[in-house]
Structure 1
Amino acid sequence: MRWDDFRRSDNVDDVRGEGGGGGFRFPGGGGGLGIGGLIVVGLVSWALGVDPRLILAGIDAVQGGGGGGYEQQDRPQGQRRELSQAEQRQGEFVRAVLAQTEDVWTEIFREQGKRYEAPRLTLFSGQTRSACGRAVSAMGPFYCPGDRRVYLDTEFFDELTQKFRAPGDFARAYVIAHEIGHHVQNLIGVMDSAQGARERARSEEESNAISVRIELQADCLAGVWAARADAKFNILEQGDVEGALKAASEIGDDKLQRRSGGEVVPDSFTHGSSAQRTQWFKTGLQSGDMRRCDTFKARL
């Protein structure tokens, strides 16, 4: 993916080197769960829509932790560390991708006679605060409607490559674009109406089905961004689309349930199957038209 020569967004707050970050450990002398393990938890919880604290509590029980849950390991307040060259490079990448989403969605909204309000993105390491509560690495990337921010620990990108075999810059850009897709949903009122529908749902299965449609629409909107960004900036290189489709496929609910050793339970899906996620990303990518992303009227 081409991105080095594009502008950088000013809407990024990088707090990775600030004091008060740090990782997490389990109490009870069990040796702790490293950042890699936390990010794997984050991938699973992000894709399945599961509260990562439940997963962490289960690991704690297996490891024999005596205190239950996990404890934060804070650096002393005010102590700041210097970011590595790799971290700085990741920050530049995030700023470039975010800038492209700003340019593309500003153009799309203008075509519809609307004004696009760009979100902010917080890069953090370990933990930080959000209007949706504490953001920790174990949660994976997420969008918070309360403060209209995307929260991202770039360690997630490394695990996306190493554990889920979805390498490449465009696969990482897909993750960012998916979260920006949620921001677009927030701006056009989809999130409010979907949340109302979830609150009226008569069963957990019905609520889950609404969540799936929300997530698949965000996948489609990520595809729309990719199509428009390539037409505008010529960002795509050979193998990029395959990398993004690989990422979408690897974080399908069905694959994650199989990988965890359990049976596939479609009624428990919250993000969609691998086939659905790749299908809707491709729908957006091939059309470049957000009107094609109405997953709420489509037959899934």
Structure 2
Amino acid sequence: MHTGRKLQQESIDVEENVSTNCGLINTGDHENDFNGIGVENFLKGKVIFITGATGFFGKVVVEKILRTIPAVSKIYVLIRAKDKQATNQRLKKEIVDIELFKCIRKMYGEHYEAFMMNKLVPVVGNVCESDLGLESNLAMAIMQDVQIILNSAGETSFDQRYDVGLKINAMGPYNLLAFAKKCKKLELFLHVSSNDDIKDETFSSQNSGRFHPTVSFVENEMKLALDYVRKTIKDDKVDHNMRELGLKRAKKFGWLNTYSLTKAIGEMLIEENRGEIPIVIARASGILSTYKEPFPGWIEGI
């Protein structure tokens, strides 16, 4: 079995043999290289906790880190699953075995899976739950270990069910922030949001700046959604009705759709409750296929 250091050295040794179709591979030491902003050096040796890693955006982030910064210590990957075995299966099926990681596979050859399992630590959990639904001993261990938290979990449908959007996009970031406050070594909390968090231009300027949702607001909206389900459950159109409710509430508060509303609430809850946590909110614009790295044209989910 190769150690992490040996596996890292192998990636450097085989760099020249990797196909140029795999984009830019940067595994050397560049302390004196001032062309970048220091991300590589910052991430070296770090313990990272990622949500949404099995999603389209999250997979690309994981691949980029492991390909260009193999000296990262490890990455905890939060995965929704019924048990540890199911979590391992999802990690293998949705990350390790997919085409996106073919450049790393070329770098490590027969040692590819050993490298991946040495760096990736799948954990059973859910951002919708307190302490992310983690088993207590595991939660404590992660709190003592993690230095960077990256939240890319989210429900991305514009006409998503209102209750689902509130749980994942609004309360999910809040629950993760509460967890982050217990992490002893935390250096960065990076929340991936959306450039679609914009208001409807027809929204009255009289209401501008007055929307400041709290946790109580979200809880009341969840209660509203639950009551709505109870009232309409006989219609056998619960899913449709919840989507309609989301659009109605979005319009009421001045957003174009349920996605924009729930993502905006998530951002606001982070800002309101951040305390001393070092926060970065990254607002991604429209996300399409890969441009150059790890190779052109990779896309998923269409």
Same fold (TM over 0.5): no
TM normalised by structure 1 equals: 0.25
TM normalised by structure 2 equals: 0.25
Larger radius of gyration: 2
